[in-house]
Structure 1
Amino acid sequence: MYHTWMRYFTPSPVHHRLGLVCLGVGLQHGVLPTVGPRTLDHHVAVVVSAGRGWFRDQEGQRRTVTAPALLWLTPGVPHHYGVDPETGWDESFVDFTGPATATYTELGYIEPDRPVVPLADTAGARAAVGRIARAARRGNPLLEVETGAAVHELLVALRRARADLGGDGDPVLQALARDAFQPLSVAEHAARHGMTAAELRTAVRRAAGCSPKDYLLGIRLGRAKELLAATELPVASIARRVGYDDPAYFSRLFTRRVGTAPIRFREQQGRAVPGGWSNQIPAPDDPPMVTGGGHAPVARQGESGAH
């Protein structure tokens, strides 16, 4: 015995140009019928929240699936799976496609070579699926865009829920972020963590979908932009603060990656204000607000800006 609910969508060519579209969503539980063997022309993320079963890959290898887990069904790859008749399972699935799937695969969010992925939990993924299900109401004029946006959220939630990562992400990335502004080479960063440069590159590529150099560069340039936009520090001083002893090299790097020179970026932002800069992340449930009458927001207790 099993229960199922599903909806399917046909986004227009215009919606496909958004890069990622949702083709369908479903919620099922119980002793579901066996799926396949079959091959699809699009991606499907199958999130198993409870129960257990099996998955047979294209080489014929049969793997045990124990919740919480994710099944990646990728275009052109044969798959075959089913539930344990003694337990059944609870699943939610989302069908999707679009050119953005290639980038998500390159970044490691979609893993064609890893069709069965253990998860730490499914709460975030189920919340994203729930948004797709709610958007699927008949006559919703925002259907294609709303469901497409939720697929992006789903991919992020599934990446965050991987059981091989801690709740705060990969410890190698945390350590790199902590040391990002120190003028260290990739080899020196690796040595700090007892790794070879090759091992560090492999770890960062798997966790962040990019090289250590690009990962560090993103953090450094993000901080440089903040300092350019919110302070009057000289470019040379900002370069040193984000890990570059040579201001000319920093300016060339910034210009090449950002598309505009540091000074020009500062002119475009024009946000240096007398109130200063805060490193405190606003609380999503209690964001800073203008209280009325055009007055500046009042700082909460313990909150201060750097003048």
Structure 2
Amino acid sequence: MYHTWMRYFTPSPVHHRLGLVCLGVGLQYGALPPVGPRTLDHHVAMVICSGGGWYRLPDGRRLTITAPALVWLLPGVSHEYGPDPDTGWDEAFVDFTGPATTTYTELGYIEPDRPVVPLGDSAPARAVVTRIARAARVGNPLLEVETGAAVHELLVALRRSRADLAPDGDPVLEALARDAYLPLSVAEHAARLGMTPTELRTAVRRGSGCSPKDYLLSIRLGRAKELLAATELPVAAVARRVGYDDPAYFSRLFTRRVGLAPVRFREQQARAVPGGWSQEIPDPDDPPMLRPAEGHEVREAGVR
């Protein structure tokens, strides 16, 4: 015995230009019948929350699925799968497509070589699927945009829930971020971590989807932007603080990656905030604000 609920959508060409669109969503559980062999023209992320079963590769090999797990169904790839006929499984799936799938694959969020991916926890992904299911109500005017945005969120949730990655942060990435402003080469970073450059590149690409050089550069430029926007430090001082002894090289690199020269970025983004600024992550329930000076009231907008 099994139970199933599903809905399918047909987003317009305009919605496809958003990069990702949701084509369908479903929730099923029990001793579901096996599927395939079949070939799809789009992606499906299938989250197995409990139970187990099998997945058959195009070459005939059979993989065991044990919850919690993610099963990728990829366009153009023949596949077969099914739950254990005695125990069944609890399944949530999302069908999606769009040009952004190429980038997500390049970044390692979608893994063509790993059709079955163990998850540490299926709850975050299941929560996103549930939101997609709720958005699928008849007459929802935001359906295509709401569900498309949720597909992005689903890919992030699945990436974070992979059993081979630490949910609270990757130690290698944390170490690189800590030392990002030191004037070190990739080989020197690797040596500090007791790794070869090849091992470091593999670890960083698995954890972040990019090379160590790009990962370090993104941290340095992000910090440089903060200093340019929130302080009056000269550009040369900003360059030194983020690891570049040559201000001219820093300016060329910043301009090439950001699209604006550091001085021009500062003109657009500078914030003169009395009381300074902080690197602490704010509490969403207690956003940063100026405290009223003694003897003065702070009135809310629109309140007389």
Shorter-chain TM-score above 0.5: yes
**Which residue is equivalent to 1:59?**
59
Counterpart residue number, 1:199: 199
> Residues 49-80 of structure 1: CA distance to partner in whole angstroms, max 9, x if unpaired?
00010111112110110000000000000110
Look up the match of 1:210: 210
- Aligned residue in 2 for 1:99: 99
* TM-score computed with the length of structure 1 as normaliser: 0.94
The code of the aligned residue for 1:52 comes to: G
Q: Which amino acid aligns with 1:13?
A: P
| Unmatched tracts of structure 1, length 5 or more | 296-307
- Which 5+ residue runs of structure 2 have no aligned equivalent? 292-297
Q: Distance in 1 between matches of 2:204 and 2:134?
A: 36
- Identical pairs, percent: 81
2:295 match:
none
Find the counterpart in structure 2 of residue 160 from structure 1. Answer: 160
Distance 2:256 2:175 in 1: 27
State the one-letter code of the partner of 2:74: T
Deviations 1:13-47 (A, max 9, x none): 00001110000000000001101111100000000
Alpha-carbon distance in structure 2 between the residues aligned to 1:50 and 1:289: 45
Aligned-partner Cα distance in 1 for 2:9–2:127: 20
Q: 1:293 is matched by which residue type in structure 2?
A: R
1:242 aligned partner: 242
Residue type of the partner of 1:258?
V
- The 5-angstrom pairing of residues 1-307 of structure 1 reads 1-288=1-288, 292-293=298-299
TM-score with structure 2 setting the length: 0.94
Aligned residue pairs, count: 295
Query: Displacement, 1:289?
Result: 5.1
1:77-121, CA deviations, whole angstroms, 9 ceiling, x for partnerless residues?
011001112211001000000000000000000001100000000
Query: C-alpha distance in 2, partners of 1:226/1:274?
Result: 16
Deviation at 1:294, TM superposition (A): 6.2
Instruction: Determine if contact 1:232/1:272 at 8 Å carries over to the other structure.
Output: no
Larger deviation, residues 279-288 vs 4-13 = 279-288
SS of structure 1 residue aligned to 2:257: helix
SS in 2 for 1:5: strand
**Whole-angstrom distance in 2 between the partners of 1:92 and 1:127:** 10
Q: Which amino acid aligns with 1:104?
A: Y
Which stretch has the larger CA shift, 149-158 or 270-279? 270-279
The question of whether the paired residues in 1 share the 8 Å contact of 2:228 and 2:270 is answered with no
- Which whole-Å CA distance do the structure 2 matches of 1:7 and 1:92 have between them? 12
2-structure distance, mates of 1:289, 1:67: 45
AA aligned to 2:49 is S
Contact 1:160–1:169 (8 Å) recurs in 2: no
